[in-house]
Amino acid sequence: TILKQHQLLDYFTEIITNPTLVDNGQLRIFPYHDFRLSPHGCTRCPTNMCKGMILEHIQVEADEKGKKTFIYLGDGGGDYCPSLRLRKDDQVMPRKGFPLWDRIQSNPSLVQANVHEWSSAEELERILTHLISGVLIDGDNPNCTSSSPSLTETSAQNTIVPTVE
């Protein structure tokens, strides 16, 4: 509903999150990876979801379609695992002063992707717009067009950065 409210839903092909169900008026949240059947085996991630495994699945699908570059935005500790699975031509955008940024700063050589830190909605918009323009200019996806409302217009106080939850 947040994406729909800000007219951003059409910019996403898929939203990956823990499944939920309303049961007798209570919201029940289930793990994305059912660890009772098959644990995902990642020691960096919580048992309910490994974002790194999810990113690898998305990378395989993108590779099959000839898409080459990923831009990953995050701020939490759970975004570290997928950041480590990004490749040298990818971009990772950690929010400065938050757990992902701290973990990357503690050992930057572990991250192959180019790191672009950000602190505010304005800075995020500027960097992300620049990165998207670079991807389009480099011919990564000639059929792709970039058009979105300004982050500062859609949210004066809050930065809305959808991530895999």
Report in angstroms the alpha-carbon separations of 31 from 51, 66, 127.
12, 31, 33
For 95-144, give the DSSP string: BTTSHHHHHHHH-GGG--SEE--B-SHHHHHHHHHHHHHHHHHTTS-TT-
Alpha-carbon distance of 150 to 46, in angstroms, equals 33
Residue 75 is labelled as binding a ligand? yes
d(CA 134, CA 132): 5
Q: What residue numbers does the annotated binding site for Mg(2+) cover?
A: 75
Q: What residue numbers does the annotated binding site cover?
A: 75
